[in-house]
Structure formats: C-alpha cells, structure tokens
Amino acid sequence: MIKRNVVYIAGSLFIALFVIVYGISTMPSRLLKVRNEAYLKMAGGYNVFLHLPRADARWDTFVSPSPDLMYSVLVFNTGEHPIVVEFPPPSRLLGQSDGCGQYGQLCLYRKSNRV
Amino acid sequence: MKVFVKIIVTVLTGILIGYLGIAAAFLLEATDAVVCNSNSWKTLKGIGSADANALTRAFIAKIGLFANSREEAIYFLAYPGDSGEDMHGDRHYRIISRKPIPAAWWAITLYNDKRFLVANKENRYSFTTFNVVRDKDGRFVIDIAPTRPEGAKNWLPAPKGERMHVILRVYHPAPELYENIADYPLPVVKEVE
C-alpha cells in the first residue's frame, strides 16, 4: 500500500517537473506565436511590412504601446530564399507635417530570442 | 475503478504543482532580476538582451512588445514608495525631475490597468523630452491625477477607479545612466497627500 502511494507521489512530482520545464521554456515562443499570427493576418502574409497607426486610447494591438513611437512589424521567412528589408523613413510614413523625429531603429528577433 | 481515479488525481496534482512551480519561479526571477532606482522606478536586468532567460522573455512578452537592449533603450516601471504597491487612478502622484535624463530622448507614459492608454478629452497620454513644460532651471514636474491639480503645468489624466501603470522609456541613454541604473538620479515619483 505504502509502495503504491510512493509511486503515485513520484508520478505527480514527475508530471509537475515536466509542466514547469515545458511551460517556462516554451512560454515566450508560444506568446510570440499568437502575436505573429495576428500580425501575419493584419499584414496579409509573410515578408509584408505592417505599419501600424500611432497609438491612442483606442489601440488594442499590443499592451503598453508608446504614443510617441511608430511601430512597424515584419514577420519574415527566409526558408525559401533570402529577403531584402526596405524600411521607409518615418517621415514618409507619417508625413513631415506630423512632426515626427528622425529617430528610428530596426531590430531583428527570432522565434523566441532577440538575434 | 479505484486505480483509475488515483491516476487521474495523480496527474491533476502534478499539473497543479507544476503551475504553482511556474508561478514561484516567476516570483523568484522577478525579485532577483529587478533593479530599483530612487525608490520610484524598477527595471529588469537582462531585458532585451540575447542572454535574457526564458522567464525574463516571458515576462516582457506579457507586458509589452519586443524589448531593446540596455544601450538602445531602458524601460522603467514606476513603483513609488516602500510598499511596492501599484499606482491607483484615484490618487494624485507627482513626478519631479532632479537632473536631466542623459539620453537622446525620453517619454513618460501612463497606462490603465489593462496596460492600454487612458482615454481623456485632451488626448494626453505622455510627456516627452520635447513637450514637457520645464521651469527656468530646466526641471519639470508632472502631475498624475484624475482631475487637473491647480497650477499643474504637465498633467496626465489618471483613470478613475482602477489601478494604473507608468513607464519611463529612455532611448539611447548615455553610459552614465545605463552603467549606473540603480543610482543615477532619475525623477522621483511621490504620492501627493
């Protein structure tokens, strides 16, 4: 009887360990997968830049947006061939009259990590 | 039948312990990875870095978009006072600058409990290097309150009846800041009685 209970307890602990390791190691990629699928849908597919509007109180694309930044997202896939990324200057996205600055940056991320 | 029930209980217990373990790991990581500044701001070590571990990545993925490295941008979350409590939209807070923030530009942005921008008549969501009103000596004060405090030059309308979050973003910080995150005299955040 005691032996059998030890087996059940060990089983529970093994499952707990699996849940912890699997849950933590895959959490970033699972969250990003959900986001990437949403961006792909909004952009219309891979290798298409999605230039988002300036954030305001109606914004619900992602949490903690900066109203002082313009966000562009490109979900790219180099599985079939290399790609060239062309990024328009912010002034062309908004128009010079909107007072946007010259600051801009392009960051690459892989599925779960920053490259 | 009895064995079947025991197996189900074993699996469910394992899953429950596993989820509790994940929560505990998050808590330990969050405590260990936090850098505090001026009893007002907190930021995470390793944010935006290729060396960041899975917990940091998961945390960032949950509260915001992709993060930059420390040399490009630092993100501070406001936690005024000793208690570490979240800020609340029914209260009045004041952000008081001490020294210029050494960076290409910075922005202080207010969010509601769901971490979205707060709707208000003035469409005012943030103050930045470029639009904050400063005193003659270059310092500034930002008031965060549900109604405009008398004499406030920089007012961020707070969301009534809910918790809120304030983020200080510092872009292209100078080494004197990113090499000294805990001690650089950033603006202080205080609750106004």
Model confidence over A71-112: pLDDT tens digits?
888 888 888 888 888 777 766 666 555 555 666 777 777 665
The secondary structure of residue B108, as a DSSP letter, is E
Q: Which of A5-9, B56-60, B166-170 is modeled with the greatest confidence?
A: B166-170
* Alpha-carbon radius of gyration of chain A: 22
Report pLDDT for A113.
Answer: 45
Paired tokens of B58: 């998961």
Rg (CA), chain B: 20
Instruction: Tell me if B189 sits within 8 A of B78, measured CB to CB.
Output: yes
Residue B31 pLDDT greater than 70, yes or no:
no
Q: Which residue bears the tokens 């087996």? A: A7
Strands B87-88, B163-173: pairing kind: antiparallel
CA atoms of A60 and B17, how far apart (whole Å): 34
- pLDDT for residue B167 is more than 90: yes
Chain A contacts in chain B segment 130-189 (CB below 8 A): 130, 165, 167, 169, 171-172
Angle of helix B2-33 versus helix A2-43 axis, rounded to 10: 60
Residues 34-63 of A with CB under 8 A from B: 35, 55-57, 59-60, 62-63
Kindly report the nearest CA distance between residue B158 and chain A, in angstroms: 13
Question: What single letter denotes the amino acid at residue B16?
Answer: L
Quote the tokens at residue B25: 């790991």
Q: Do A31 and B62 touch (CB under 8 A)?
A: yes
Interface of A with B in 62-81 (CB under 8 A): 62-68, 71
Cα separation, B87 vs A78, in Å, equals 44
- Is there a contact between A19 and B114 if contact means CB atoms under 8 Å apart? no
Quote the CA–CA distance of A20 and B54 in Å, as a whole number: 12
Give the pLDDT of residue A32.
78
